[in-house]
Amino acid sequence: MLSPAAPIAEPIADVLARLQLTVADELFDRALTHRSYAYEQGGIPTNERLEFLGDSVLGVIVTEHLFISYPDLSEGQLAKLRAAVVNSRALADVARGLQLGGRIHLGRGEDSTGGREKSSILADTMEAVIGAVFLEHGITGAGVLVHHLFDALMADAATRGAGLDWKTSLQEVASLGGHGVPVYVVSESGPDHAKTFSATVVVGDQTYGPGTGRNKKEAEQKAAAQAFAAIGA
């Protein structure tokens, strides 16, 4: 079983220099300016507009890549796979690898409460940097950066099931490991109008879960996700 793809571990300045994606100091500084710092400095521009732009640019580049790379996947599967790559947790992990946390301009209060490690702040800053690169180099330059940072994560998500159906992914990995077909055990509780379902899944001689949900399918998917993570590890 392959290990999950690790984010690029290299300072953002080095990455941009190596990819020949120079960004004007003022624009790059703005991409790193959190609203808490801007407020303390009397209302200077924040990175929020760049974040808005970068979010759209990232979405377009990732969507195009997935659309071309996985022609057999349905719209729903592509959407799940995209969400596995561009969610806040994934973006924050990429930002950590680029050591963005130490470069963000934060207000004193935000800084003192661990803001440099907050996934939401790191993810927003990552999007703002992508937005800044787009302004300087257009969609081609932004694509160079996004592909450098996210291609391995997209491929990893597809092969490990992060963006696809967890039950299908678990069945595949169980088969490869010689564990047989996963067996689900589902129970329900609560009144008819507000039932809660709980599922466990047996793979080989191990039981994983429980996964809970508002219906049987949701509970089974959550149990399958837990089993997939454990077997993959």
Task: Give the pLDDT confidence score for residue 131 in this predicted structure.
Answer: 98
Q: Which domain holds residue 41?
A: 12-163
Let me know whether 182 and 85 are in one domain: no
Q: Which of 110, 127, 156, 220 is catalytic?
A: 127
Torsion angle (degrees, nearest 10) of CA 176, 178, 180, 186: -70
Q: Which residues of the chain have pLDDT under 70?
A: 1-7, 159-165, 232-233
The domain boundary, picked from 163, 193, 210, lies at: 163
Catalytic residue among 55, 110, 156, 220: 55
Q: Is 124 annotated as a binding residue?
A: yes
Whether residues 134 and 174 share a domain: the answer is no
pLDDT of residue 2: 39
Task: Residue 211: give its domain's CATH number.
Answer: 3.30.160.20
CATH of residue 61's domain is 1.10.1520.10
Whether residue 170 sits in one domain with residue 154: no
- 136 carries a ligand binding annotation: no
The answer on whether 51 is annotated among ligand-binding residues is yes
72 is catalytic: no
Q: Could you report the per-residue pLDDT of 70-115, keeping only the tens digit for each?
A: 898 888 888 888 888 888 878 988 999 999 999 999 999 888 888 8
- Is 172 marked active-site? no
* pTM, to two decimals: 0.70
Specify the number of domains making up the chain: 2
